[in-house]
With several copies, the nearest count.
Chain A
């Protein structure tokens, strides 16, 4: 069983209220070193077999049509999961 990881982030020029809320909260918790935060989405897609190039191409198409909103978001990466990220460890 293979797994594809897709990362989607708000476009840099677009207001990101979620990131803004986090960057405001961090210093109150004593985390002072962070000057900016942006919050995006991460998807893990499972496939029956291996993650072939065709699977990745399908996944990219899905990322661009369904998983992201091209008006305000960018698909920043579509890749096969390496063991570490996949298992949720």
Chain B
């Protein structure tokens, strides 16, 4: 391991701009870098000559699906079209920056975003998940914010598949290892098992950060003469597998043989980088800032220059290296973690370097903002890149991929889980046994085995986290101002009907935030789908985006940013080998005083349980259909967004006025699961009666317990507030029904569904908590 700056490899022919102009016939391995013939032709047109190896490296990585969103761009524009001025009211920075920024009042702003690290987490679960968390944290830092919490949404193959036993513990300890070590509380997430994720686990990580309004920073390089500083970890050969073709082309004799396929994270370096950045921001030493993630320096330089007001000159030989054998192409492409790039005025640069020195963070002045409009990259004085930065960063190819509703969709939707086709439990004994099996099933069982590996307390501002519906953190210690976040997705519903499924995921996250007592304000999303080259997948994608955009408009919450992950698919069986279409939606809400937040379980005896919303026979895509019959078909539950809005409004008012002591959203597993979780939260039982509910909604006890109708929440109302609570629901026209009372916390306490069955909480707890340890070790 050598740590010096590289000497120009002797004897190797450097592919300079000059040489490229002089050797137009020289063929470059554009195909091996993933470019299409017409894309390569466009690059030649833009440049008026063949690209150099370094230019080709930049274009190929920046024009990849991952960086250019070339298949998804046309659809993502839908979000903008559905964002009204009213929705923009709280939006300080919208889609397009590293992360959106939302005004939460009192001079405070928050920024949040969810991103995927799916494929790397399959190859190397620990490091893949860890660097996924690290990457999203840097996006938040790049906005000028202090990161305050993380969340993770995880999807794995079948729970008893041998490879799941490899992937789950690795991913979980990677998420925890990075987040715990960097000192950010993990305040929630999801875990879901389904065979479609076998070989394609989904690892989506969210970070939220807070700042004062005046601290918002943007990623652009403005001001001729301002300096470009790279700081953080040294650059190694991480994640440049592909570009080695170029290295071997131009550096035949000196090119290194091995380039790591995976990146290793160093959370300690990132923690120091966070503190260092915050010191830099508060001292006013940063004009513009950008994190280095996918596509490394290629991305950071071209995006900063493209968003700026001039050109940029970079001396690539000044990049501090971990591996001195790297070629210019490789340095441009390296995805080494824990690096940032800042634009600094010449007057501030000494002070800037003093701060980085205080934190033992390496920094190098790579170049400057120039007049003109070219991005120039030099290697020991010779120009290896000379491009218009916009063509690299923002004007990549855009595809209108063909899409079509798959022929199989009709049959799928026709395959409804009717009582005639899937036998349903009817007697008390059958219902009791079903409830115990359901609550122990992989997607409904306790997540404690996972979440106990995450620090939820660090920073001292967490007031709700697992297993509550939303994570809630305090942002301002003086006033108690804080935010609530929930991350939800439902691939099964989205498979049955992509537009409705995406909206159901949105509605669940929105409802979760309101259930905790917060006013929903903004949305981030991570769209995980199969191959865009499959018209069926593309149809799912287009439908989901359309549904999501319309849903956001109806609820009045704008999409502020997100991430698209395509090609989550193994094999070539088309749609059948793709993951369930999985939009994961994060909703952020505000509480003016987080001490008013509502927890998800009851702890006082004698409170009255009310069910808000109505229940229909909706079991298509439900957990019951899957757990008991391995069935996925029919239509997902219907969604009424006006009702969701009303429900949220009532819940937020209830929290503000202290009308409810607990509230729990009904989602996977229906009312049965909500009763189990609400009871187990603090160990207080409940006595429940279903007759009135069945009568009012025209359903039977099985449907009452296991249907997954949307728009429902279970709340515990203190007796002295019952009148006010009833009046408020009645006045607002919200369906509400008294279905039970809470019991005390005791050894003997039970969940008693009157006239049908009763289960001691001890037995419920045993069933609920045993599953994950049994599969992944105590």
Contacts and interface: CB of A to CB of B under 8 A. Distances in A.
Chains A and B share a contact (CB less than 8 Å): yes
Interface of A: 10-17, 19-21, 24, 35-36, 38, 46, 69, 71-72
> Which of A13, A15, A71 counts the most B-chain CB atoms under 10 A from its CB?
A15
Contact of B258 (A11, A35, A36): A11
B268 A69 contact: no
A11 B336 CA distance: 15
> Which of B233, B260, B263 counts the most A-chain CB atoms under 10 A from its CB?
B260
Contacts of B127: 71-72
B350 interface: no
B266 A17 contact: yes
Interface string B334-364: 0011000000000000000000000010000
B260 A13 contact: yes
A47 to B, nearest CB: 13
B3 A71 contact: no
The 8 A-B pairs of least Cβ separation, nearest first, read: A17-B266, A15-B264, A36-B1, A71-B124, A13-B260, A13-B258, A14-B260, A14-B264
Contact of A71 (B123, B266, B268, B269): B123
> Which of A19, A20, A21, A35 counts the most B-chain CB atoms under 10 A from its CB?
A20
B339 to A, nearest CB: 12
A24 B266 contact: no
B237 A13 contact: yes
Contacts of A24: 360
Given A15-B236, A15-B264, A17-B266, 19 more contacts: A11-B258, A13-B237, A13-B256, A13-B258, A14-B264, A15-B238, A15-B266, A15-B322, A15-B337, A16-B264, A17-B264, A17-B265, A19-B1, A21-B268, A35-B3, A36-B1, A36-B3, A38-B1, A72-B260
Given A24-B360, A36-B3, A38-B1, A15 B263 contact: yes
Q: Give the bracket for the number of chain B residues in contact with chain A.
A: 20 to 34
B211 to A, nearest CB: 28
Interface in B232-246: 233, 236-238
Interface in B195-246: 233, 236-238
Nearest to B261: A71
7 contacts: A13-B256, A13-B260, A15-B336, A35-B3, A36-B1, A36-B2, A72-B264
B442 to A, nearest CB: 22
Nearest to A35: B3
A76 to B, nearest CB: 15
B262 interface: yes
Contact of B268 (A13, A14, A17, A36): A17
B124 A46 contact: no
B323 interface: yes
Contacts of A12: 1, 258
Contacts of A36: 1-3
Nearest to A36: B1
B261 A13 contact: no
A37 to B, nearest CB: 9
Contacts of A69: 124
A14 B337 CA distance: 12
Interface in B269-291: 269
Q: Majority SS of interface residues in chain B?
A: loop
B681 interface: no
Given A13-B258, A13-B260, A71-B261, A20 B3 contact: no
Interface string B439-452: 00000000000000
A19 B3 CA distance: 13
A13 B321 CA distance: 12
B268 A11 contact: no
Nearest to B170: A69
B259 interface: yes
Nearest to B262: A71
A72 B262 contact: yes
Contacts of A46: 1
Contacts of B337: 15
Contacts of A14: 260, 262, 264
Nearest to B323: A13
A11 B264 CA distance: 11
Nearest to A18: B266
A20 to B, nearest CB: 7
B322 A72 contact: no
Contacts of B236: 13, 15
A15 B233 CA distance: 10
A14 B238 CA distance: 7
Contacts of B233: 15
A66 to B, nearest CB: 11
Contacts of A20: 266
A17 B1 contact: no
A16 B226 CA distance: 34
Nearest to B337: A15
A16 B236 CA distance: 11
A73 B515 CA distance: 47
A36 B323 CA distance: 12
A11 B260 contact: yes
Interface in B416-466: none
Contacts of B360: 24
Contacts of B260: 11, 13-14, 72
Contacts of A17: 264-266, 268-269
> Which of B124, B236, B264 counts the most A-chain CB atoms under 10 A from its CB?
B264
A36 to B, nearest CB: 4
A13 B233 CA distance: 15
A28 B241 CA distance: 35
A71 B269 CA distance: 22
